[in-house]
Structure formats: structure tokens, C-alpha cells
Amino acid sequence: MIRDDNTRILYKNRWKREFLSKLKSLLFYILIVLVAVMIVLPFIWMLSTSFKGTEAIRTIPIKWIPEHPTWDNYIKIFNLSSYNFWRAGYNSFFLATTCTIVSVFSATMAAYVFAKIEFKGREKLFMVYLATMMIPATVIMIPNYTILNQLNLLDTFTGLILMSLNNTFGVFLMRQAMMGIHNAYLEAARMDGASLPQIFFKIMIPMSKPTLSTLILMNFMGSWNSYLQPLLVLSSNDKQTLQLVLATLNGQLKGKENVTMAGAVISILPIVIVYIMVQKYIDQGLEIGGIKG
């Protein structure tokens, strides 16, 4: 009888534990779904609005699927009289691509030095360099402006490209990945007569491809979406980026949010394309960058 009572108590406790575990899992998934919906909903509204007419965007209740979808908003955004949207898109793509190449290449070379080349004070120098991540970007905006002004690089793409050379987080991320590469590969390459550049290009970069792909995506997104730096440096209309043009149109096209949303949809397409190209490396690259070292 006592054994049966103990069995029932154990079974009851086990059932409670399983119930609580399933309840926690259910609440967790509900929370994740709610967060996902909150994140995705603005993008769905943006895409839906870009295909609506001016009257339809003020319809209450909101109609998420346009009754009469139209491409007129996309045609209007490319036929603006005040700004050349094609030119702004080209400027953004050129700057994002060039700044990404410069930033990633310089960060990767610096990471190679900090990870695999021994010299006195290497770790202390790296910690000092890493500490610059704590300096807010707004603090160095005025010094950057002053330096570019002294070098006559204001209102030039060169000024923005030079500002992308500093990529402390990129150095940290690539250094963590390269520290996970065994030194035996480097020693074998040196025995075969490989130089430092050959080791860098033929061993370190291929073996750091997942983290490198992640860094490329992050830098491209940052450069493409950059607003403050182009606003600080560029002033000519023919050198404006998409983000600057969209910010200006947001004020000029009051009551025509559908046209603005069409421009916003176009502005996120390159990021989506780049993400699709490198997404298979993203999780692996972040895992390597965060754990190794």
C-alpha cells in the first residue's frame, strides 16, 4: 500500500514537471512569435503601402492586401524632378561596395597581425585598440569633419571611404576566427617557403571564410544604411545617397507616403540580395567569432 502511494506521488510529481516544462516551452514560442510579428509587421505594411493609391493608404480599417495594386509609386519615385533616384541608388551601391571592400580588407589584415604575428606588446596594443569601441561615434564626428575639411575631402566619396578604414569590431571578429586556425598550417607554409602575404591570402582568408562572409554582410548593411556620415560629408545633389534622398523626400512628399514607401522597398533590396548570397555562412561565422580565442 505504501509502495502504491509512493508510486502515485512520484507519478504526480513527474506529471507536474512535464506539464510545467511544456507550459514554459509554449509560452516561449508564443513570445517568439509575438516578437517576430512585431518585427515583420512594419515591413509588410511598407510593402503593402508601396502598391496602394493615395486614397487607399488612409482607409480604415487598414487593408493589408491592396484591392487595386499599382506600380505607379515606383514609376513616380524614379521620375522625381528634384532628385535623380537612379543616381542616388548608384551612389549608395558604389559607396557601400567600396567601403565594405576597404573596411573588410583592412580589418582582416590587422586581425592577421594581432592573431598570428608575435611582437612585443601585441596584447596590450590590441586591448588599447579594442577600447576605442567604447567611444561613441558622435564624439568623433566633429574631429572627422575638421580633418576632412583640412584635407579638402568634404563633398567627396574619398572622404567617406577613408572614414571606413576604422573597423574595430571587424578586427576583433576576424582575430577571434584566425586564432582558431592551428599554427601548424602556418608553420608548414613557412617550411615550403611561403611569404606572409601568401599565407594571408592562401591560408588565413580561405579558412576564415564563414566569419569573413558575416563581416562582409555586416559592413555592407552598415554602409548602405549609413545616414549621419554621408550627411556630414556630402552636400551636392548629384552625390546624395539613397538614405539622404529618402529622408528629404519624407519631408517633401507629405501625404504621399505610398511613394516614400516604394523608395524604402527599393532601398532594402540590395541588403536582401547580399544576405541571400552569404546567409549560409552567417550562423557559422558568428559562432566561430564568438567562441574561439
26 and 102 part of one domain: no
196 and 266 part of one domain: yes
Find the CATH number of the domain harbouring 131.
1.10.3720.10
255 and 116 part of one domain: yes
CB-CB contact of 215 with 285 (8 Å): yes
Condensed to tens digits (0 to 9), the pLDDT of residues 193-207 reads: 888 888 888 889 888
| Any domain includes 258 | yes
pLDDT tops 70 at residue 12: no
> What percent helix, strand, coil does the chain show, rounded to 5?
80, 0, 20
117 and 36 part of one domain: no
Please list, in sequence order, all residues whose beta carbon lies within 8 angstroms of the beta carbon of residue 126, skipping any fewer than 6 positions away: 114, 175
28 and 163 part of one domain: no
39 and 154 part of one domain: no
| Any domain includes 54 | no
Please list, in sequence order, all residues whose beta carbon lies within 8 angstroms of the beta carbon of residue 88, skipping any fewer than 6 positions away: 240, 241, 242, 244, 245
97 and 172 part of one domain: yes
Instruction: Name the amino acid, one letter, at 141.
Output: M
CA distance 181 to 158: 35
| Any domain includes 131 | yes
Please tell me the predicted confidence (pLDDT) of residue 293. Answer: 40
Report residue 30's pLDDT band, with 50, 70 and 90 as the boundaries.
very high
Percent of the chain with pLDDT over 70: 87
| Any domain includes 59 | no
| Any domain includes 62 | no
| Any domain includes 278 | yes
DSSP secondary structure letter of residue 238: G
CA distance 70 to 192: 64
Indicate whether this model's pTM tops 0.85. no
Exposure of 185 in the CB half-sphere (CA atoms within 13 A): 16
Condensed to tens digits (0 to 9), the pLDDT of residues 49-84 reads: 888 876 666 667 777 777 777 888 888 888 877 778
262 and 150 part of one domain: yes
164 and 274 part of one domain: yes
91 and 196 part of one domain: yes
CA distance 62 to 39: 18
Domains of the chain: total: 2
- Can you give the residue range of the structural domain that contains 88? 82-291
| Any domain includes 165 | yes
What is the phi/psi pair of residue 179, to 5°? -70, -20
176 and 115 part of one domain: yes
Q: At what angle do helices 122-131 and 85-116 cross, to 10 degrees?
A: 150
| Any domain includes 221 | yes
10 and 114 part of one domain: no
